[in-house]
Chain A
Amino acid sequence: MSWLLVLPLLIPLTTGILCLVLPGRTAQRVLGLAGALGLLAAGLALLAQVQRLGIQAVQIGNWPAPFGITFVADHLSALMVLVTGVVAVAVALFALAENDQAREGLGYYALGHLLLFGVNGAFLTGDLFNLYVWFEVLLLASFVLMILGGSKAQLAGGVKYFAVSLLSSILFLVAVGLLYGATGALNMADLALRVEKVHPGLLTALSMLFLVAFGLKAAVFPFFFWLPASYPAPPAMISALFAGLLTKVGVYALIRVFTLLFTHDTGFTHSLILWIAGFTLLLGVLMALAQGELRRLLSFQLVSHIGYMLMGLGILTPLALAGSVFYALNHMIVIAALFLLAGLLQRLQGTTVLVRMGGLYGPYPWLAILFLLPAFSLAGLPPFSGFWAKYTLVAAGLQAGQYGIVAVALLVGLLTLLSMGLVFAEVFWKKAPGEVRAAPGGLGGLALPVGLLAVLTLGIGLWAEPLLSLSQAAARELLEPSGYIQAVLGVSR
């Protein structure tokens, strides 16, 4: 069996367990970084192998495909795992510099790596019920991370997050049960073969259950209220991890399920997704404009930009799906950088309430540049990665004749720029309400991971071709699932 496929699971699991049994702080900190770097390396190796040999599948315990537990890596999974590694390394570096001894003592590193374990499991699994289990693994880790330290705001946010997650888990479980009842299969490749025989009306009803369950996790239009209530509560290193990874798991699940299983009535299901994408885009950015606290603002921006990923899924052409994949990857990097930067600014000013911030341009001009790189990327200005992501989506939308959503997407890009410009004016240009303090303990360590992510988004923007062609390969595989089915089951459709 291919060890490369299970390495992205084994590395964080081993690291998490070692962090639990080795109580020494130094050991934990070294392990925290080493585990993240190992994950990044494993992600690179996995992508290289997928690139070289095509879709990889592993049957755990050598049980033949529809009966055993399957792990599959196509381009989409491998890319997601790779960028998860990038975010993990950045957050680990930030955590080292943040030096939050209270949370480290409570098991921050162990939980963080168990979260990565769950996230990678969800990206790599080839079985719908296992996807449920992986969701629960990452949810339980995220629940504890969310309330680690136990401040009032964290508990209030944690209760909301917990309640919504329970609801979406149950819906997902019910949906899996009903789909199993209708088809008699759980393996996704096997399901893809069998859904054709299911009554299309029943299949559409089931697809709606999945849409709601994953939509709750991805925080799309009617279901996004919980995210801004909970994500800003924990400290920056944790909310950056959540913002970068957790909602993307929901988006990944939506993309996977709505390209592999539910393509029988795209006129209904995918138009609905397109509408949801439009509302998510608009409402998210409008709410972001109304916020006076940086992390809440970023949370609403996060919600808004989930809409772009759904837009590509809704249009469902090869170019549009490539845009979705590219957008998800680029957004993981950019939003993690912005959340980490919010943590850095909080260290500097003691608050992230915008009216109480200001005057940072004078003493820290390089910090302004560090903010502008990911902020412009989020807004989609060239030459950043966000530009290519939006450009691909808009071009795909124009090709498909979906002018409404293209107009919304462009408008939201402008509003994002406005929102980021307002933040810049508040934080950097405005006169400081009090005196600007020197940062306690220096900023170099905290700025390093933000800088790395910012350079990465600039680098992807300048050399967009490699990642874009990888995204296109992912989109081709998604739209032509026979390769996926062949890799898992060894039979062609």
Chain B
Amino acid sequence: MEILLSFLVGGLAAVGVYLMLRPHLIQFLIGFLVLGNAANLLIFTAGRLGSQFPPLVQPGGAVLEPYANPLPQALILTAIVIGFALAAFGIVLFYRAQQALGTLNAEAILEVPEPAPAPSPVDEVPAEGVRR
């Protein structure tokens, strides 16, 4: 079972890395989600698999009774929530970037000229405000 999951993790990681290297930023985001799942499964596998046991100790049961390790599941739960937050933020960020920059091609964004610092509020002239 561990070997099977290891291959799954490897496959997902390969897909994720491939997508993250694609030029389109939405593909990058999907790649991140796939890679995130690979990382989660990896933690799950690293925490030793015990599919036939619950991750709980029975009430009054001896602690030594076999039970699945609950810690990786808690870790993955946290990581999934954080991954969701990052993905949600990323979608909104890319949406705004698309609006402002007119493209989501990573290479085109890399060529956006040197980040001229945002103007200080006092210096903001109306013409510049309109252009942005």
Contacts and interface: CB of A to CB of B under 8 A. Distances in A.
Contacts of B101: 152, 155-156
Nearest to A296: B114
Interface stretch (B51-59, B60-68, B84-92): B84-92
23 contacts: A98-B120, A98-B121, A136-B86, A143-B89, A150-B96, A153-B118, A155-B93, A156-B97, A159-B109, A169-B86, A173-B79, A176-B75, A177-B39, A177-B46, A180-B71, A229-B115, A235-B118, A235-B120, A296-B114, A296-B115, A346-B123, A353-B116, A440-B122
A26 interface: no
A343 B123 CA distance: 12
A235 B20 contact: no
B90 A352 contact: no
Interface of A: 98-103, 129, 132-133, 136, 140, 143-144, 147, 149-160, 162-163, 166-167, 169-170, 173-174, 176-178, 180-182, 186, 229-230, 232-236, 239, 293, 295-296, 342-343, 346-347, 350, 352-353, 440-441
Interface in B25-53: 25, 28, 32, 35-36, 39, 42-43, 45-48
Contact of A152 (B25, B43, B112): B112
Q: Which 9 residue pairs are nearest across A and B when measured between Cβ atoms?
A: A181-B46, A177-B43, A156-B112, A153-B115, A233-B115, A155-B97, A100-B121, A173-B39, A136-B82
B120 A346 contact: yes
Contacts of A352: 117
Contacts of A229: 115
Contacts of B112: 152-153, 156
B110 interface: yes
Interface in B95-109: 96-97, 100-101, 106, 109
Q: Which of B35, B39, B94, B117 has the most CB of A within 10 A?
A: B117
Contacts of B25: 159, 163
Contacts of B79: 132, 173
A177 B117 contact: no
B46 A180 contact: yes
Contacts of A129: 75, 78
Contacts of B90: 162, 166
A135 to B, nearest CB: 10
B118 to A, nearest CB: 5
A173 B123 CA distance: 43
Contacts of A181: 43, 45-48
Interface of B: 20, 25, 28, 32, 35-36, 39, 42-43, 45-48, 71-72, 75, 78-79, 82, 85-86, 89-90, 93-94, 96-97, 100-101, 106, 109-110, 112, 114-123, 132
Contacts of B93: 143, 147, 155, 158-159, 162
A167 B85 CA distance: 15
A163 B115 contact: no
B118 A163 contact: no
B116 to A, nearest CB: 6
A176 B46 CA distance: 10
Q: Which of B79, B94, B112, B115 has the most CB of A within 10 A?
A: B115
B105 to A, nearest CB: 11
Given A99-B121, A235-B120, A155 B100 contact: yes
B116 A153 contact: yes
A102 B122 contact: no
Contacts of B78: 129, 133
B117 A235 contact: yes
B114 to A, nearest CB: 6
Q: Which of A174, A347, A350 has the most CB of B within 10 A?
A: A174
Nearest to A158: B93
Nearest to B44: A177
Given A177-B43, A347-B123, A440-B122, 7 more contacts: A102-B121, A150-B100, A170-B36, A173-B79, A180-B47, A235-B120, A343-B120
B76 to A, nearest CB: 9
Contacts of A236: 117, 120
Contacts of A160: 109-110
B57 to A, nearest CB: 14
Contact of B96 (A132, A136, A147, A153): A147
A325 B79 CA distance: 31
A132 B82 CA distance: 10
A122 to B, nearest CB: 14
A136 B106 CA distance: 23
A385 B120 CA distance: 30
Contacts of A182: 46
B43 A159 contact: no
A112 to B, nearest CB: 16
Contacts of B100: 150-152, 155
